[in-house]
């Protein structure tokens, strides 16, 4: 499980003495392990969110430079791109992390939680591509290469669309319907 599995392992290894004692109580151990899985996934999604905000900040810098040089023809597309990136980042940050009420018919088990962590971990590659595309766009605009701006907007938009589509498959992946 690599990078994403280590988050859960570190969390599990860091249990305090009282938690280790309570883990011996029937039923508590499974509850605590589920909590660790949920917390691990939340940490992972927080990381993804922070990286997407970095990319958004790069795009805001691009927007500011375009404004400084009065490249008004790109404003609408840049504004839509930044808003879309912000929406996707918020969706990832606020996604459900495996809670089901005590009396719910559908119980979220460890297997589904593990699939959730694994799925969210695979999103790292998509986020890295967005970061890279946004950074390259920023660098290009810093060098005043305004002729490339439209291509950069489209490129960032495509990688963002890929992330958005993949994230849309999250529920099915967690339930084991789709991989």
Distance CA(177)–CA(53), nearest Å, equals 30
> Is residue 132 a contact partner of residue 156, using CB atoms and an 8 Å limit?
no
CB count in 10 Å sphere of residue 124: 15
Residue 104: phi and psi, rounded to 5, are -65, 150
pLDDT tens digit string along 18-37?
A: 556 555 655 555 566 777 77
Q: What is the pTM of this model?
A: 0.77
Q: What is the pLDDT of residue 53?
A: 98
- CB-CB contact of 68 with 143 (8 Å): no
In tens, the pLDDT along 67-93 reads: 999 999 999 999 999 999 999 999 999
- What is the pLDDT, as a whole number, of residue 1? 46
Structural domain boundaries, residue 44: 2-175
The domain total for the chain is 1
CA–CA separation, 130 and 48 (whole Å): 11
């Amino acid at each position: 499980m690599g990078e994403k599995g280590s988050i859960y392992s570190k969390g599990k290894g860091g249990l305090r003495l009282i938690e280790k004692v309570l883990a011996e109580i029937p039923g508590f151990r499974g509850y605590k392990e589920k909590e660790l899985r949920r917390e691990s996934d939340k940490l992972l999604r927080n990381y993804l969110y922070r990286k997407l905000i970095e990319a958004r900040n790069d795009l805001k810098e691009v927007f500011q430079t375009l404004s400084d040089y009065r490249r008004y023809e790109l404003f609408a597309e840049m504004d839509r791109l930044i808003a879309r990136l912000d929406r996707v980042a918020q969706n990832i940050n606020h996604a459900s992390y495996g809670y089901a009420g005590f009396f719910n018919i559908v119980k979220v088990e460890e297997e589904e939680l593990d699939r959730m962590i694994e799925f969210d971990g695979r999103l790292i590659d998509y986020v890295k591509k967005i970061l890279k595309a946004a950074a390259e766009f920023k660098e290009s605009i810093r060098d005043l290469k305004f002729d490339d701006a439209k291509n950069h907007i489209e490129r960032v938009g495509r990688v963002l669309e890929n992330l958005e589509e993949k994230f849309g498959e999250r529920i099915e992946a967690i339930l084991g319907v789709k991989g």
